[in-house]
A and B are shown apart, each in its own frame.
Chain A
Amino acid sequence: APDPLITEVQDWASGLGEGVDATPYGLPIKYESDVVRRNVEWLTADTISSINFTPIHALDGTITPQGCAFERHHSGAIELRKEDYRLMINGLVDTPLVFTYEDLERFPRENRVYFCECAANSGMEWAGAQLNGAQFTHGMIHNMEYSGISLRTLLEEAGVSPEGKWVYVEGADASSNGRSIPLEKAMDDVLVAFKANGEALRKEHGYPVRLVVPGWEGNMWIKWLRRVEVMDQPVESREETSKYTDTLANGISRKWTWEMDAKSVVTSPSPQAPITHGAGPLVITGLAWSGRGAITGVDVTLDGGKTWTEARLAAPGTDKALTRFYLDINWDGSEMLLQSRAKDSTGYVQPTKAQLREVRGLNSIYHNNAIQTWWVKANGEAENVEVS
């Protein structure tokens, strides 16, 4: 029968839509209102010190819109005006300095795209498949284009003393969330950023100024950055001793596990993004990233790892940024055990859960970069599972 959406004149084809000023700053259309950050309430005592998840199952491309990019706060997202913003560089420097926001805008600027992944991303999956959805298993990640200045520039402005080996960076919020970073990294690719995806940082991402520490765990990307102290030793703060350390099976814990290893996930189909169209052409897609370099390839398997096929990268992988991959197949409508496997420019290959557990046990909490399996059933629904 003819489609009435075509044969009948629809309201939107005869009436009028909204004028240009209806929404001076736009939100997604209401039909996309389910594409939002989500929280797992049982994870933490209170949403003020908690984390939520990017809806990666519903996004495409590589840039994460700020409005749905995951948030992690330790004492809540504060409101700090540019006019009230101060950044101090002190410690082992020739001249301790204070900068205003306006001062920062006068230094030469850079634009760089990087992913930011919480060290605890996939952390709930160490002991077994738990959460049903790519958003929940892999959504503590976002990828933005940052505009800002090199931290090196600011450190050189203050003049780093030869005894300086570390920088201690802290935020203006009540948690301060201080972290120690080796001077070598601080002088390499760390950015003091004030714009993301072209616009001011959002409150929840550290407005007006945050640190960008490419490839390293998100906890080090200090929000509301207020102070950088050059030191000859690390502070060993709460966030680098009691948290963000990885306990192995023998009870010994790794510390200073800063780099995020290569990782990938199929974002669709997945539990929150089932196949609804039946057999035939199917786009399998996902994201891959590495904190050690660029993604060079992604393999996808439909049979739980017996046979792998190289996926198509939407664009060549770039340093410490998300890469989008696609595998276009003709689905025969039978069950699939869908996995993806990332490879990076250092020759690292994303391990299986069994391989990771063999080295680290089950108690690490952080840095779970294992291969994820979705069991896609004949009806198109998908479930988070583990396979032999």
Chain B
Amino acid sequence: MAVVSPVAAEKFGLGRPALPEEIAAWDLDVAPDGTGLPTGSGDVFTGEEVFAEKCAVCHGDFAEGVGNWPKLAGGQGTLDHEDPLKTVGSYWPYLSTTWDYVNRSMPFGDAQSLTPDEVYAIVAYILYSNDLVDDEFVLSDETFKQVELPNADGFILDDRLDAEKHFWNPEPCMENCKDSVEITMRALVLDVTPEEEGAEAAAEAAPVQEAVAEEAVEEPVETAAVLDPELVAKGEKTFKKCKACHQVGENAKSKTGPILNGIVGAPAGHAEGFRYSKAMKAAAEDGLVWDEAELAAFLAKPKKYMKGTKMSFAGLKKDSDIEAVIAYLQSYSR
């Protein structure tokens, strides 16, 4: 019979010791003094190549940013302006932060795929884009400490208790606090509030959704019959690698990459309004059609298949992944 006794404030003996290999696999953070940096190096030129292949699709060839994606260069001297431009060069205080973030979280949608040398090279190129090093520069665990970022001294610790101590005012005014009150600004003047589609029809929204769902069920029946649902499900998982740039399905739009509804069997360059690369436009004019074989070849090695494509994805290594993604895309036939 179990004995119920109060648990002492001592250890519970739960969990197990972490192994050195496990700690090494997860403990990747790098501190401002360089603690945690692996051995390695990369130069600006290599960085430019790697950046063009893996980063430029969102951050631009010159780290200037594409659309709403972050700008990594420029903005020095703007921090006290209206709408300051905050980049690695103008704002980030420590180089370790850039190295650490690129190493662990980039590229977006394919994190932790870079080698230490590639990370050193990319970071060297970002520094170069910010005019902080010359084109001969080689960043390594050795040279890391030579680099100081311009805004290193641009930060103070939270001083609200001091700078805002007048907000601690237990007896605020309750009566006759102002002589007059005028409206000085209205949100409607700017009006950036998202539009509600058919706001007054909110109560009807549910039945409408149901109707859409029913329609959707009827349509894909013929394609669904030939598609292996397990393969489609697998493809949906693999498609996560593509999601940073591509959307498919209901409400999908062209983003960094074109919308993919109906891509299987479609002529190349079919997404209206999307700015395709010259290479893709040329292929479209030559009559390229994305049948399963062409798509499979493209997805295996995009840059080899089509020199000059804007798609910076390295490619799917496994044939089974390619087959699955195509099946998944086929499930969105229109």
In the complex, B164 has a CB within 8 A of chain A: yes
- From residue B166, how far is it (CB to closest CB) to chain A in Å? 8
Pick from B69, B156, B167, B244: contact of A355, CB under 8 Å: B167
Residues of chain B within 8 A of A387, CB atoms compared: 181-184
Are A99 and B14 in contact, CB atoms less than 8 angstroms apart? yes
Query: How far is the CB of B29 from the nearest CB of chain A, in Å?
Result: 5
Partner of B23, one of A46, A96, A375: A96
Contact with B along A122-144 (1 / 0, CB 8 A): 00000011111100100000000
Given contacts A88-B18, A306-B177, A385-B187, contact A236 B111 (CB under 8 A): no
B-chain residues with CB within 8 Å of residue A44 when the two chains form the complex? 68
- Give chain A interface residues in 50-92, CB to chain B under 8 Å: 74-76, 88-91
Instruction: Tell me the residues in window 80-112 of chain A with beta carbons closer than 8 Å to chain B beta carbons.
Output: 88-91, 95-100, 103, 106-108
Q: Interface residues of B: mostly helix, strand, loop or mixed? A: loop
Q: Which of A254, A359, A383 contacts B155 (CB 8 A)?
A: A254
Q: Which of B14, B187, B192 contacts A42 (CB 8 A)?
A: B192
Residues in A neighbouring B178, C-beta threshold 8 A: 304-306, 388
Cα(A129)–Cα(B104), bound, Å: 38
In the assembly, what is the distance between CA of A50 and CA of B110, in Å? 18
For B16, give its contact among A30, A97, A234 (CB under 8 Å): A97
The reply on B39 being an interface residue by CB < 8 A is no
Chain A residues near B172: list those with CB within 8 A: 299, 308, 341, 343, 349
Closest B residue to A174 by beta carbon equals: B111
Known: A45-B68, A238-B101, A305-B181. A129 touches B175 (CB 8 A): no
Stretch touching chain B among A191-199, A201-209, A240-248, A313-321: A240-248
Residues of chain B contacted by A176 (CB below 8 angstroms): 104-105
A379 within 8 A of B: no
Task: Tell me whether A185 is interfacial, beta carbon within 8 Å.
Answer: no
Determine how close the nearest CB of chain B comes to the CB of A250; give it in whole angstroms: 6
A14 to chain B, nearest CB (A): 22
Q: Is A168 an interface residue (CB 8 A)?
A: yes
Task: Tell me whether A178 is interfacial, beta carbon within 8 Å.
Answer: yes
- How far in angstroms is the closest Cβ of chain B from A51? 13
Q: Mark B87-98, 1 if CB is under 8 A from A, else 0.
A: 010011110110
**What are the residues of chain A within 8 A of B170 when measuring CB–CB?**
343, 347, 349
Interface residues of A in 148-198 (CB under 8 A from B): 153, 156-157, 168, 170, 174-176, 178
Q: Does A349 contact B187, Cβ atoms closer than 8 Å? A: no
A31's nearest neighbour on chain B, judged by CB, is B203
Interface size class of A (residues with CB under 8 A): 35 or more
Contacts known (A96-B18, A98-B15, A237-B29); A245 close to B155, Cβ less than 8 A: yes
State in angstroms the CA–CA spacing of A130 and B57 once bound together.
31
Interface pick from B77-85, B262-270, B287-295: B77-85
Please name the residue on chain B nearest to A242 by beta carbon.
B92
The smallest C-beta distance from A125 to any residue of chain B, in angstroms, reads 9
Known contacts A48-B244, A242-B97; A349/B167 CB under 8 A? yes
| Among candidates A46, A168, A237, residue contacting B101 with C-beta atoms closer than 8 Å | A237
Contact mask B211-247 → A, CB, 8 Å, 1/0? 0000000000000000000000000000010011000
Of A103, A153, A251, the residue contacting B84 (CB under 8 A) is A251
Residues of B within 8 Å of A223, CB to CB, are none
- The smallest beta-carbon distance between B236 and chain A, in angstroms, is 12
User: Bound state CA distance, A48 and B100, in angstroms?
Assistant: 21
Give the residue name and chain of the A residue nearest to B23 (CB): A90
- Binary contact readout A252-281 vs B (1 if CB under 8 angstroms, 0 otherwise): 111111110100000000010000000000
Q: A176-B105, A386-B183 are in contact. Are A241 and B14 (CB under 8 A)?
A: no
State whether A34 touches B202 (Cβ < 8 A).
yes
- Is there contact, CB below 8 Å, between B177 and A307? yes
CA distance A293 to B52 in the complex (A): 49
Known A88-B22, A90-B27, A129-B187; contact A252-B158, beta-carbon cutoff 8 A:
no
Judge whether B86 and A48 touch: CB under 8 Å. no
Q: Provide the residues of chain A in CB contact with B146, threshold 8 Å.
A: none
**Complex interface: stretch among A1-9, A225-233, A323-331:** A225-233
For B12, give its contact among A107, A227, A233, A237 (CB under 8 Å). Answer: A107
**Closest A residue by C-beta to B17:** A95
Q: Which residues of A contact B160 (CB under 8 A)?
A: 254, 257, 259, 261
- The CA-CA distance from A59 to B171 in the complex, in Å, is 31
Query: Known contacts being A45-B67, A97-B17, A242-B92, is A131 close to B192, with CB within 8 Å?
Result: yes
Complex CA gap A12/B98 in Å reads 62
Which of B83, B157, B244, B255 is the one whose CB lies under 8 Å from A255? B157
A49 on the interface (CB 8 Å rule)? Answer: yes
Contact B186 A385 (CB under 8 A): yes
Take A241-B97, A247-B79 as given contacts and tell me if A253 and B154 are in contact as well, using a CB distance cutoff of 8 Å: yes
- Are B177 and A129 in contact, with the CB atoms below 8 A? no
The answer to whether residues A362 and B82 also contact, given A90-B18, A98-B15, A388-B184 and a CB cut-off of 8 A, is yes
CB pair A174–B105 under 8 Å, yes or no, is yes
Whether A132 and B14, one on each chain, are in contact in the complex, defined by CB atoms closer than 8 angstroms, is: no
Known: A255-B155, A255-B157. A337 touches B93 (CB 8 A): no
Chain A to chain B contacts (Cβ below 8 Å), 9 pairs: A34-B205, A46-B244, A91-B27, A98-B16, A128-B185, A308-B177, A349-B167, A355-B167, A385-B184
Interface residues of A (CB under 8 A from B): 30-31, 33-34, 38-42, 44-46, 48-49, 74-76, 88-91, 95-100, 103, 106-108, 128-133, 136, 153, 156-157, 168, 170, 174-176, 178, 226-227, 229, 231, 233-238, 241-242, 245, 247, 249-259, 261, 271, 299, 303-309, 337, 341, 343, 346-351, 355, 359, 362-363, 375, 383-388
Top 7 A-B pairs, shortest CB-CB distance: A30-B206, A251-B80, A304-B181, A251-B79, A45-B68, A384-B187, A174-B111
Q: A46-B255, A349-B170, A388-B178 are known contacts; what are 5 more A-B pairs with Cβ within 8 Å?
A: A30-B207, A108-B7, A254-B156, A271-B187, A385-B186
